[in-house]
Chain A
């Protein structure tokens, strides 16, 4: 149990449609990040939200957007879906892997598998 919950687990959409993926963190951390993992590849950073504002973005077009809410839940929105958007989308929340040093790391949800047809 990672404390990060994503919904839905699977989704099939048609090219050109819009999709919203959701994430919630039981830990209540105020930083959430989203990653895209294409088949056979490592995850790629999409963007990160801190206190409801985007504070970091990877190499993704503007049709990838997000929201973070006061209760620390988050959404990833993708407009004008393309076939290449088919991937596993992972949400990550901050956690401390070394409490005595104040280091931080990321714990992931189970992901949403998006298929665009």
Chain B
């Protein structure tokens, strides 16, 4: 069965510092995609970054980078130079399977608090 595990219920970081949010996944599919979403208190699920299972390089999007370690089945999100506006819930998700359109499986999330 496919599963996403986020072991950090909450994280604190000082403004302008970097922070790593952990995510491990379990799947037997050879092809899958990994996503990180940010959810502020307003509720909207905001797409941050994507990593395909066959990607050789780690994905980067501005201040966000994904530390993809396929053998360890981990896909940690690194946020550099944290800003106060980064305070939110962060969800790791996986899209599994090949052919057709497949659902996303989410982890329980990590609440990030950025302190001035």
Contact = CB atoms under 8 A, between A and B. Distances in A.
A32 to B, nearest CB: 10
A45 B101 CA distance: 13
Report the interface size class on chain B: 20 to 34
B45 A98 contact: no
A51 to B, nearest CB: 11
B43 A105 contact: no
The dominant DSSP class at the B interface is strand
* Residue among B45, B47, B93, B95 having the largest count of chain A Cβ atoms under 10 Å: B45
- List the 3 closest A-B pairs by CB distance, nearest first: A42-B106, A97-B50, A108-B45
B47 A107 contact: yes
The dominant DSSP class at the A interface is strand
B43 A111 contact: yes
Given A33-B103, A42-B91, A92-B104, A103 B44 contact: no
Given A88-B43, A105-B95, A45 B105 contact: yes
